[in-house]
Amino acid sequence: MRLLGRAAGPSAPMESTSPPGVPPGEGELRGRGTAADGLVEAAVAGYGRLESLEIDPRLLRHGTGAIADRVIEAVRAAQDDELRQRQELLGGDIDQAAMRRQLEAVAAEAWRGLDGMIGDLGALTRRLDQR
């Protein structure tokens, strides 16, 4: 039983799932996950957006609680798969602390440069006012 899919059908051209500002292709990863021995299959597009969900009718006799748990399990597995692919594409795990330190260093350098430019403009303005 297909519960979620493209409304226009499989032959419709897919639009990019990349958020604005993301280079084409980077948001085009697809993650896949299963649960309940393959009775639930989920696929997510880039950045974890749920793209399709299929539930085998044999799972229906287990009740809605069990179905919900297996759907969550399959979707999370698909999201994990997409994240793993993204990390591989980026060259491995991203060290958030190191990235933060680098960004802080870049910001500090930018402020120093801006302060220097403002000082230079102030000096230039004073010289022009003296003429």
Count how many Cα atoms sit within 13 Å of the Cα of residue 91 in the half-sphere of its side chain: 1
- CA nearest neighbour of 74 among 103, 104, 43, 51: 43
pLDDT string in tens for the chain (131-residue length): 555 543 333 333 344 444 444 444 545 889 999 999 999 999 999 888 899 999 999 998 999 999 999 999 999 999 999 988 888 887 766 677 777 888 888 888 888 888 888 888 888 888 888 87
Q: What are phi and psi of 31, to 5 degrees?
A: -105, 145
pTM of the model: 0.55
